[in-house]
Structure 1
């Protein structure tokens, strides 16, 4: 298998582990900065080049780029798909996952549990919008935030209104959600590959914070997800259209609730907590699903008969 990883930094743990896992299994792998890929789009075919050289015949592609380059990176991912590469996380699904509002709408439409969420645009509707949600505490999230950035907890109606008004003044897109107090600052990350959960960890927020993200000081421990939690995680990934996903659940009094479906989940925390070779599981999933892309034929030199 010839594998491309779309990443801007070859030194990142997740990128390095995927490269190692692929090479250990005898595959060819290359890390490509999506911002250095440029495309030719025509009715007679698709072509792409990287630093002056053609990009050809990659069997599979994994997107590992940050939210700041989602739009261009996703266009590059789609170009790979048009050129015949297998993408476990297709460009359309990747875009859905990066948009928290769209993702929540899709999950709710399929009856998947999630915290009650409200969204609005006009400042005149703020009080009624918050009334639709119920009394605080409220969790306010930037629509395209990652790793806990842009997530705030407000404990009074006046604080909720103030944060909402400030974010609208910055023209930011955001969601407001109910706070699940019984979770006590913990959530569950289920790492979904294909139709199963390869591993799960519980993340606990540090003292004085409610965000359990490891980048915010959260502590991770390996856990055995219940059959119900695994089923919810796999179903959530499928609803969004992802073959590889980090599905964040919260254990509530009404069952597991989906907080987020991450299309580019990090490997460092889950591998450290569980001791599992998650990167290897991803590579094996790719190898089982790819259909080799036809390589361009190289012309043999013409013999002059001597």
Structure 2
């Protein structure tokens, strides 16, 4: 098959891992940088060009769409869908998972447990803040990756000052319950085609509360409990994600979904677990393009 990876970074670990996995299965692999793609609709049909050349021979694409490129990246994926090209993650799933509030609304419809989360309203935000009863809270921008745009406010006054600043800047954000017993750790589970193919536990570095490996956190392979595995699979299904990373907190009331990533990085988890996730993604494509 002819398979393209939609990525701005051809030399990035995840892109190279996918290229090698596809080539090992004798597929013709290439990288398409979304910045060099031209989209049009001509005579009622989708037309796509890459660096001026018509693209009409692909069987599947693997989107690696960064948060800063969500709009055009999802538009590109939707264009491939209109061209009847199989994509491991759909455009709608990318958009829904990228917006934290939308994703939590979808999880709530599926009955998936999450930390208490509040979409802040500019009029009654003080009452919303008081509902956390003075406990430490997490303030999250609606869009953010690698732990960016996530603030721990340990007191009511700190939270109020931060909220007022964000409101003045016109930023949309959430308030979220801080799960102290997780002690700066979470679980990242990778789901591919309805199966958890790898899982690791991430621990924040000293002095931080964010477990992201990009921020200096550490990781180790973990075997999920039955409840953790169930919640990871239900999350992927509810957001209709063929491939995703599901971040889970271990709390006193059981596992809680913290976040969903439609373009999970592969380096940290492949290194920690020794699992070839890219091979699983290629296998997913092969099963759907027979």
Match of 1:288 in 2: 287
Q: State the alpha-carbon separation in 2 of the partners of residues 174 and 71 from structure 1.
A: 19
May I ask how many residue pairs the two structures share in their alignment? 290
RMSD: 1.0
Find out whether 1:120 has 2:125 as its counterpart.
no
- Measured after TM superposition, the shift of residue 136 of structure 1 is 2.0
Q: State the alpha-carbon separation in 1 of the partners of residues 156 and 207 from structure 2.
A: 21
Q: State the alpha-carbon separation in 2 of the partners of residues 225 and 48 from structure 1.
A: 42
Match of 2:224 in 1: 225
Q: Which moved more, 1:172-181 or 1:56-65?
A: 56-65
SS of the residue 1:77 aligns to: helix
Q: State the alpha-carbon separation in 2 of the partners of residues 15 and 5 from structure 1.
A: 7
Matched ranges for 1:84-233 at <5 A: 84-122=84-122, 124-233=123-232
Give the TM-score normalised by the residue count of structure 1: 0.93
SS of the residue 1:105 aligns to: helix
- Measured after TM superposition, the shift of residue 108 of structure 1 is 1.1
**Could you report, residue by residue, the CA deviation over 1:27-86 in whole angstroms, capped at 9, with x for unpaired residues?**
011100112111121453111101110011311111112111110111011001100111
Q: State the alpha-carbon separation in 2 of the partners of residues 97 and 57 from structure 1.
A: 29
SS of the residue 1:72 aligns to: helix
Matched ranges for 1:38-117 at <5 A: 38-42=38-42, 44-117=44-117
Find out whether 1:267 has 2:271 as its counterpart.
no
- Does the Cα contact within 8 Å between 1:220 and 1:273 map onto a contact in 2? yes
- Does the Cα contact within 8 Å between 2:232 and 2:246 map onto a contact in 1? yes
Match of 2:277 in 1: 278
Q: State the alpha-carbon separation in 2 of the partners of residues 258 and 268 from structure 1.
A: 22
Q: State the alpha-carbon separation in 2 of the partners of residues 29 and 251 from structure 1.
A: 39
Matched ranges for 1:251-262 at <5 A: 251-262=250-261
- Does the Cα contact within 8 Å between 2:120 and 2:172 map onto a contact in 1? no
Query: Segments of 4+ in structure 1 off by > 3 A?
Result: none
Q: State the alpha-carbon separation in 2 of the partners of residues 107 and 166 from structure 1.
A: 29
- Measured after TM superposition, the shift of residue 218 of structure 1 is 0.5
SS of the residue 2:124 aligns to: helix
Match of 1:31 in 2: 31
- Measured after TM superposition, the shift of residue 172 of structure 1 is 1.3
- Does the Cα contact within 8 Å between 1:118 and 1:133 map onto a contact in 2? no
Q: State the alpha-carbon separation in 1 of the partners of residues 64 and 236 from structure 2.
A: 17
State the structure with more CA Rg: 1
SS of the residue 1:211 aligns to: coil
Structure 1: stretches of 5+ with no match in the other structure: 292-306
**Could you report, residue by residue, the CA deviation over 1:101-160 in whole angstroms, capped at 9, with x for unpaired residues?**
0000110121100000011231x3121011233322000111100010111101110100
- Does the Cα contact within 8 Å between 2:182 and 2:249 map onto a contact in 1? yes
